[in-house]
Amino acid sequence: MKKSEIYIDFLIGDLEYFLFSNKTKINSYVLENHIPTYKESLEILDKFSTGLKKTSQLIKYLDEIEDTERLRNIFILSSESLAWILFTFPSVAEKIPVFLEEFDIKGENILDMIGQNLIQIEMFIDNPKSSKYISKDLKENINNISMTIGHITQMIKKGSLEN
């Protein structure tokens, strides 16, 4: 096994553990109709940003992976990461003091971007080898979404400190 494969397996495990440990807590807010506090909302947005960064790290290595099952696992996990955010984000966004319109990248709604990337990733679950040529765009899109959520979260945190 190559060093890069070991690192990729580590990234897969890291994202898998991250999703497992954070989904339960955050999903409980939504399922129990619990209104997250301001601080909890920021924590949730921060978790979304971190999950997307981890997903982006994995996708960065698609070109180096030869093993079809490893590719499939990356797409399944990436799909789970994006789907979790896509379906949880609207419930959180309505509880924070920011307009959903602010979550916009180059004139496109962030939820639409997440959905488009999710669809693209899910297409590669059945045929992972066909993904070799799109990894750059996919990584860039997911990284942009992560950075946008992270930036807005940091701005909200700074705003709350000054008030």
Residue-range definition of the domain harbouring residue 42: 3-160
User: Between helices 135-162 and 110-126, what is the axis angle to 10°?
Assistant: 150
Tens digits of residue pLDDT in 75-130: 999 999 999 988 888 777 776 666 556 667 787 888 888 999 999 899 888 888 77
Whole-prediction pTM:
0.85
Question: Quick count: other Cβ atoms within 10 Å of Cβ 48?
Answer: 24
Cα separation, 51 vs 37, whole angstroms: 21
Tens digits of residue pLDDT in 13-23: 999 999 999 98
Q: Which amino acid is at 84?
A: W
> E strands of 44-136, at which residues?
104-105, 108-109
Q: How many domains does the chain have?
A: 1
